[in-house]
Amino acid sequence: MPKLSLIKLTELEELWPGVARRYHRLALVVGPVGSGKTPLLKELCRRQDIPYLNANLTLSQQLLDLTSTERPLRVHRLLADVIAEQPGEVIALDNIELLFDPALHQDPLACLQGLSRNKTLVVAWGGTYAENALTYAEPGHPEYRRYERPEVTAIVLP
């Protein structure tokens, strides 16, 4: 693991006890594609014995049997059930891109905040966090989201 990632891993490990005491127990690992979010989460899971979930894989399997009308109504509950089944109080969630699918009509940050009420979530967020704004995708892209001054704890990767 590159030196920078080890620094970020230590920073993340030191951060989450404080996150666990918050109303929304959510920590984001923010960075663009290829910045090392997945290796960082996997190393965290290995070192701390934390469950690792691939949200896209988990959700897509469960959404297959639902109609396009049912999917937006059930996506949050399906993910909540999977998270509740995991052992421990901390869960790493990766590959959350499906939550941004316009067909699912979700507010991804609000969804993650709601899911983090009962367990601490450490989530890989593909995007940027700068100047008090959290973004996902580029303006004009159908999945684009921008949150001004979000109430989140974030570790930002270059």
User: What is the arithmetic mean of pLDDT over 17-24?
Assistant: 88
pLDDT beyond 70 at 1 = no
The CATH fold of domain 3-12+25-150: Rossmann fold (3.40.50)
Name the pLDDT band for 131 (thresholds 50, 70, 90): very high
Task: Give mean pLDDT, residues 90-117.
Answer: 97
Q: What is the pLDDT of residue 9?
A: 87
Burial degree of 107 (CB within 10 A; 0-12, 13-18, 19+): middle
Helix ranges restricted to H, 20-69? 37-48, 55-63
Contact criterion met (CB below 8 Å) for 39 and 134: no
Q: Where are the domains of the chain?
A: 3-12+25-150
